[in-house]
Every structure is written in structure tokens, then in C-alpha cells.
Amino acid sequence: MRTLAPHELRGAELRWTMRKVVIAWIFGAVWMSATAGTPLTNYAKALGASNFQFGVLAALPFLASFLTLPGTLLIEATGKRKLIFLVFLYFQRLMWVPIALVPMWMYSAWGDSGRPVAIAAFLSMIFLMYAGNAIGGPGWIGWMSDLIPPGIRGTYFSRRRQWGLVSAIPAAWGAGWLLDHFAGNGDTMTMLSWCAVVFIVAGAFGLVDIIIFHWVPDVPTPPKKGTDLLSSWGEPLRNRNYLRFAGFVGTLVFAFAPMGQFVTLYIVTTLGADRETGGLNQITQLMLIVAPSLAQLLVFHIWGKASDRMGKRPVLVLAALGLVPVGIGWCFVNADTIWLGYVLSALGGALWAGIDIVNFNIVMEFSGSASKMGTRGGTAYVAMNSIIINVAGCLGGLAWGGIAELCERLNLQLPLVGTFTFFHVLFILSGILRLLAVVVFLPHLHEPEARPTMEALRYMTSNVYNNLFSAIMQPLRIIGLPMDKIAKK
């Protein structure tokens, strides 16, 4: 296993290593998109999951992330980031085989009486799957921080996400198509069987993602022991500016994270009640996976450049404010306004991409072998960021599940909205909390080099216009029309 000192790679060798990391995610994105959305929701629904159990399902990735604590201690104590990443990420991807087969076997063997045990086993194994990433994932961030030069991280990782979307979009659509054409007859066992096929095939693609990292050079870090190991944990808690950022992201995650599971359930429930709606799983996948993926494909590099050139705070302000009306807008989506669901989903994906990129880059700045403050931040920042965010996500999922149970019988007829249910209560609450995250935390986030928000907005608008103009004019360039003169006119 080849090892390097931090940022030792240069030239062609660095470029080839960066390409391998991108190629790996092209396979990993198939796994992520194919297992998300309707396959996971339909599997849980077929097992008879309650509204609260859907809330638990939304909370599980955040609950599992508490294991980041022992994972980070293991990484810091041994310094073997690559080895720990490989072991636990292999475990995560392989878990999709028992997730697919065990609950289905329980239902097949015991029928309806086995549903409670099957859903309990399903939720337990989903937790273990997320736990593998919680333990092995922090080491990857520090490892990549030492491989990828600081000045290009925003642009590079946004491009990496874009390439992942090239494979994620057809994978998401394909999963929906399979379920519609082979599992759409309402039979529970048929639905479970085809969801299991999707899980196992997607898991195989996920394994290829991890296998490729065997050929990415390792950057070992010196192990920490005793007081050094314990003192590294106090650094994030002493950094007030980091805590302000974590408060913002935590509040936003509390408001945003459960939306994925409940919006999927809302669309399946709302459109499923309309007998004239065909291809329900394809519609859901196209709306909730493909539409935001296409939007992110267009804007990831714009957010990355804006983060590198304009600063992180203005990017957060623009993205988070845009998410406020997107959250509330789901109240107006029904069988007659399906088009609005596509618009909101695309806007939400595009705006969340900005949050995601900034969060990743801020944490990466602290987790490498040398931070901007001249000290080694290590994976303590990764762990603390994960803990704060995942406490919020876990509480959000459980709170939303509880609210859904309490308001389950809510049924009001309102203009524009139609039938007002517990889903609408959750959507409104999410919009209010997104606004509070911006107002309470971002004015106090200190970033001396950041440009004014309005300047960042002009930069973003200009980039979006240039990209759209270039895409629209490309066919005319191909046939040889004078584009310079057209642009001037």
C-alpha cells in the first residue's frame, strides 16, 4: 500500500489520483440513488411501517452517526484512516444483501403476523448499514483533505458530484421503472422481491466504489495518545465561529432532513389515491431523485466556484433563504399540480447543493494534517460536526414522526391547498425553521475574506446566465452561425 506525505502528489500523478476518486463515485452514485426514494419507501410500506416508523427511518442515519465518536477515536489512536475506511465501508455496502433478503424471508415465512418482526429487523439492519459509514467515513474526509490541494477543493468536489449525477439519474429512473412494470400489481411479496433486486444490484455498484480506493495512495497520520488524543476533542468546542456554523447547519438539518422521507410518502400517498395516475414509482423517482439531480448537475460547479471566490457565508445565505419558500411550497402539490412538485424538487436540490458544498469544505479545512490556524485539526472536527448535525437530524426525524402520529386524523378542506393534513403541518414547520436558521446564526458567522451577499448573488446570476446561454447557443455554433454578433445584439 503506497503512502505519501500530505500534498506530496504533483502534476500528472495528482490528476490521475483525482480522476480515480471521481470514477469511484460514478459507481457509488448508482448505489445511493437506486436505494433512495421509492424503493426504500415501498419496501417499508409493504412491510406495514407506521407513520412513526417512517419518522424513525428518517432518523436512523443521524442516530447511527453517534458512532462517529468511537470511529474517530479509533482513527486518531491508530492513524490508519484508509484501512478503517475500507473495512467499514465494505461492511456498509454488503449490508444491503441482508436488508433485501431477511425481512422479505420473514414475511414469506410468517405472513401478516410476521410484519412487526420484519419491520423491526429492517430498521435494525438499516441502522447497521448507516453505522458502517459513521465509523469509516470521517477518515475519508481527512484523507482527501491531505490529497486534494486547498485552492481547488470547492471546484473539484462539485465536479465530482456532477459526474456522479451522470450515473445517478438513469439509476434512479431505472429503479422506478422496474417497480412500476414488475411490482405495480399491489401484491406485497412482489413489491418486496423487486425492491430486494434493486437493493442487491445497487449494493454491487457500491462495492465497486470502495474497491477503486485500493489504488488511491494513503496519507497516514501519526497516532495520538493520552492527553493529545483527549485535547483534540476540545478544539471544536473552543472555536466559537465553528459552533455558530454548526448551529446554523444543525437547525437547517432539523428542518430539512426528514423532508426526504415524508415528501416521498406524501407523493406516493397523494398520487396513489388518484386511480388515473400511471407509473407512480417512475413519477416519484423522476420528481424526487432525477429532477433535483439534473438541477444539481447544472449548478454544482457554480456553487463550488462561488464558495472558492466569493466566500462561504454568502453562499449559505443565498442557498438557505431560497430553501424557505421551497419547503412551504409542497403544501400546494397535489394530483392536479404535479408539475409544481418537479419545480420544487429541482429548486430544493439545486439550493441544497450550495449548503452541502460549503459544509463539506468548512469541515475539510479543519480536518487535514494542517489547518489554516497552523495546528492539526484532525478528525475531531469531522466527528463534532457529525454529532451536532446528526443530533438535529435524529431529533427532527423523531419529532416529525411524532407530529405525524398526533395529527394523523387532521383533514381540512382549504382553498388552493385542497385537503390539509399532517403533511402540510410538517411542510410549514420546515419552512419556518429554515428561515430561523438564517436569521439567528448567519449574521454572526465571521469570515473576513467573504464578499458581500449581493455581490455573490450577481456572480451567481452571471454564471447561471452564461451557462444557460452557452447551452442554448450550442446547436447554433454547430451549424456555424456567428455567435459573437448574436450575443452583441
Any idea where the domains of the chain sit in the sequence?
Answer: 11-472
Closest CA to 339 of 295, 279, 293, 291: 291
pLDDT tens for the chain, 489 residues long, are 555 555 566 778 888 989 999 999 999 999 998 887 788 888 998 999 888 888 888 888 878 878 887 887 888 788 888 999 999 999 999 999 999 999 999 999 998 888 999 999 999 999 999 999 989 988 888 788 788 887 777 778 878 888 898 898 899 888 888 888 887 666 889 999 999 999 999 999 999 999 999 999 888 777 766 555 555 666 677 777 778 888 888 898 888 877 777 888 888 777 664 544 456 777 877 888 888 888 888 787 788 888 878 888 888 888 889 999 998 999 888 878 888 989 999 999 889 888 888 887 777 766 655 444 334 455 667 677 777 877 888 888 888 888 888 888 888 888 777 778 888 899 999 999 999 998 998 887 777 777 888 888 888 788 776 766 565 555 555 455 454 444 444
Predicted TM-score (pTM) of this structure:
0.70
Give the pLDDT score at 205: 97
Q: How many angstroms separate the CA atoms of 13 and 147, rounded?
A: 11
Provide the pLDDT for residue 487: 46
**CA-to-CA dists, residue 245 to 251, 402, 468, angstroms:** 10, 28, 32
Single-letter residue type at 439:
V
pLDDT for the residue 274: 52
pLDDT at 73: 80
Predicted pLDDT of residue 155 = 77
| CATH fit for domain 11-472, picks 2.60.40.10, 3.30.470.10, 1.20.1250.20, 3.40.50.720 | 1.20.1250.20
CB-facing half-sphere around the CA of 169: CA atoms within 13 A: 15
Contacts of 219 (CB under 8 A, 6+ apart): 3, 4, 5, 6, 8, 81, 82, 143, 146, 147, 369
Helices (H), 216-311: 226-238, 240-256, 259-272, 280-285, 291-309
What pLDDT sits at residue 88? Answer: 96
Strand partners, 419: 413
Give the helix/strand (H/E) hosting 472.
Answer: helix 453-478
pLDDT of residue 202: 95
Q: How many CA atoms lie within 13 A of 372 on its CB side?
A: 9
Tell which residue, 356, 427, 391, has the closest CA to residue 66.
391
Taking the C-alpha atoms of residue 258 and residue 250, their distance in angstroms, rounded to an integer, is 13
Q: Specify the pLDDT at position 156.
A: 85
